[in-house]
Amino acid sequence: MAGLRAGHVVVVVGSRAWATLRNVPAPRHIASGKVREIYEVDDERLLFVATDRISAYDVILNQPIPDKGRVLTGLSLHFFDFLETPNHLVGTDLSDVPGLDDEDLVELRGRAMVVRRATVIPVECVVRGYLYGSSWREYRNGGGPTTEHLPGGLRLADRLPEPIFTPATKEASGHDENITEARTRELIGDALYGELRERSIDIYLRASAYAAAKGVILADTKFEFGFADDELLLIDEVLTPDSSRYWPADQWVPGRDVPSFDKQYVREWLDTTSWDRTPPAPDLPPEVVEGTRARYIEAFDRITGTSFDSYLAGKR
């Protein structure tokens, strides 16, 4: 949130307070992800913010996609509600978050969640129902951590006999590294491994059945969990297009690449340029920004069965 600045004071002219309206320091910035930011609210709570930044081919593009962060936050809220599994969401009311001015509230509308502070478990809980991405590359190249429990003879994008739990660790490089079941058990212990696998696969099964009813395949997804007061909570964003691979069901052909719901449009434009996929990316023309935004909103409407406009209308 560029815009959270400390040190403003209320200016009183006559009996009227105007202006700048920040009589409390701005929330302290805690962490930046590629496309998300976290701020401190108090000892127990954080402000989780989804920005409009977008990455493609692992590079952050120069142009934000207006409302992308609101679409992703709306999808996370939708699935926290649908799943009814213990999670970190406290709410979206920002009126009792100290240090936000009117400008911040406008910027944050629909894109911020107040969440419970948790101790983050250092394992990304990936569930895969289809063979794609890094798992397909491991499989094709003779096997790796994610393929140790798979049968032979599978093709790219094949549906797996049953969903598999394929944890990864966040590396300093920013890339996730797939790790074996044995390595995961060493890192977090057998008891927690069993709980995370069961929770993750259960959530995947329910979310993928939900998506299938809307004509959407949830190919794979990544969850994070944390502990708060000894309770195991689902944290982070959930089942968004940034944390999940969503495919239009009618575009799925085993053996072929499948276009991603949200990013295919911008990737196809990038592929028309001579860009070598190293930073910086080429500037997106306005019509590509607008077309990408439309795809995110279409994904929201299709997956939630509601409208993004009605979601926003409900946020203040």
**Residue 46 touching ligand PZK (CB under 6 A):** yes
CB of 244 to ligand PZK, least distance (A): 16
**Window contacting ligand PZK (CB under 6 A); options: 26-34, 100-108, 147-155, 299-307:** 26-34
**DSSP H helical segments within the chain, as ranges?**
68-83, 102-108, 133-140, 181-188, 190-212, 264-271, 286-304, 308-313
The rounded distance, in Å, linking the Cα atoms of 306 and 299 is 11
Q: Among residues 37 and 107, whose Cβ is nearest to ligand PZK?
A: 37
Q: Among residues 35 and 217, whose Cβ is nearest to ligand PZK?
A: 35
Identified binder of ligand PZK from the candidate list 110, 145, 163, 226, rule CB under 6 A:
226
CB of 274 to ligand PZK, least distance (A): 33
Binders of ligand PZK in range 87-146 (CB under 6 A): 88, 115-118, 120
Identified binder of ligand PZK from the candidate list 38, 47, 71, 211, rule CB under 6 A:
38
Contact 246, 258 (CB under 8 A): no
Cβ atoms within 10 Å of 299's Cβ, excluding its own: 22
Tokens representing residue 165 in the block: 């739990």
The rounded distance, in Å, linking the Cα atoms of 155 and 162 is 15
Give the H or E element holding residue 173. Answer: none
Classify the phi-psi angles of 18: left when phi > 0, otherwise alpha if psi is within -120 to 50, otherwise beta.
beta
Identified binder of ligand PZK from the candidate list 236, 240, 293, 300, rule CB under 6 A:
236
Q: How many residues bind ligand PZK (CB under 6 A)?
A: 17
For CA atoms 74, 76, 81, 87, the dihedral sign is: negative
**Window contacting ligand PZK (CB under 6 A); options: 12-20, 36-44, 154-162, 294-302:** 36-44
**Residue 32 touching ligand PZK (CB under 6 A):** yes
**Residue 273 touching ligand PZK (CB under 6 A):** no
Q: Among residues 120 and 313, whose Cβ is nearest to ligand PZK?
A: 120
* Cis, bond preceding 280 (omega within 30 deg of 0): yes
The rounded distance, in Å, linking the Cα atoms of 299 and 247 is 10
CB of 99 to ligand PZK, least distance (A): 18
**Residue 45 touching ligand PZK (CB under 6 A):** no
Identified binder of ligand PZK from the candidate list 4, 26, 27, 37, rule CB under 6 A:
37
Classify the phi-psi angles of 257: left when phi > 0, otherwise alpha if psi is within -120 to 50, otherwise beta.
beta
Binders of ligand PZK in range 48-77 (CB under 6 A): 48
User: 144 has which bridge partners?
Assistant: none
Residues contributing to the site for ligand PZK (CB under 6 A): 31-33, 36-38, 46, 48, 88, 115-118, 120, 226, 235-236
